[in-house]
């Protein structure tokens, strides 16, 4: 009986959060959890920050990973995974991200997932409150940052 009550309470809390929209940080974290990390990639760090998008301040979750696999394999993995999860490719011009970045939008166009690739680890400014994760594998050749912004 206790377990049933606990499950009911958690379900009610989840429905209330969804109905009320939840916080931007919660929505972004939930989207990240649904996507799963690339197999074998190590999460190096994560942080949330406010970013100006089209003149509007939006909350963005940024998670940095490292992998020994080739960039093309990781691009293929996330390209397929995001399409299967219901995201659509974002083809609108955007000078704020590198050309080789993967850009996807939510079906309602109120959110996005961008995967930006690099040959080296990004050093974030200390004032962003970065939460450290694991150390990059010694054979890491591909670093990538997932930027997630899920609007209401």
Confirm whether 14 is domain-assigned: no
Confirm whether 11 is domain-assigned: no
118 in helix, strand or coil? strand
Backbone phi, then psi, for 42, in 5-degree steps? -110, 130
pLDDT at 15: 39
- Residue 109 tokens, joined: 């166009």
pLDDT at 8: 37
Confirm whether 87 is domain-assigned: yes
Which residue carries 């397929």 as its tokens?
A: 80
pLDDT tens series, the chain, 152 aa: 444 433 333 333 343 344 445 899 999 999 999 988 999 999 999 999 998 877 888 999 999 999 999 999 999 999 999 999 999 999 888 888 888 899 999 988 889 999 999 988 888 887 788 888 888 989 999 999 999 999 87
pLDDT at 99: 85
Instruction: Count how many domains the chain has.
Output: 1
Residue 61, domain extent: 23-150
Confirm whether 10 is domain-assigned: no
What is the C-alpha separation between 93 and 91, in angstroms, rounded?
6
Confirm whether 71 is domain-assigned: yes
pLDDT at 21: 55
Confirm whether 5 is domain-assigned: no
């Amino acid at each position: 009986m206790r377990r049933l009550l606990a499950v009911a309470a958690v379900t009610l809390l989840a429905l209330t959060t969804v109905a009320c929209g939840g916080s931007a940080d919660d929505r972004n974290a939930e989207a990240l959890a649904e996507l799963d990390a690339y197999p074998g990639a190590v999460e190096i760090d994560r942080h949330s920050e406010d970013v100006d998008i089209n003149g509007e301040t939006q909350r963005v979750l940024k998670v940095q990973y490292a992998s020994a696999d080739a960039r093309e394999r990781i691009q293929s993995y996330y390209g397929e995974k995001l399409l299967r999860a219901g995201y659509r490719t974002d083809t609108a011009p955007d000078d704020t991200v590198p050309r080789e970045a993967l850009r996807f939008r939510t079906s309602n166009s109120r959110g996005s997932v961008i995967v930006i690739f690099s040959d080296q680890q990004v050093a974030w400014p200390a004032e962003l409150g970065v939460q450290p994760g694991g150390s990059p594998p010694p054979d890491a050749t591909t670093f990538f940052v997932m930027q997630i912004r899920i609007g209401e």
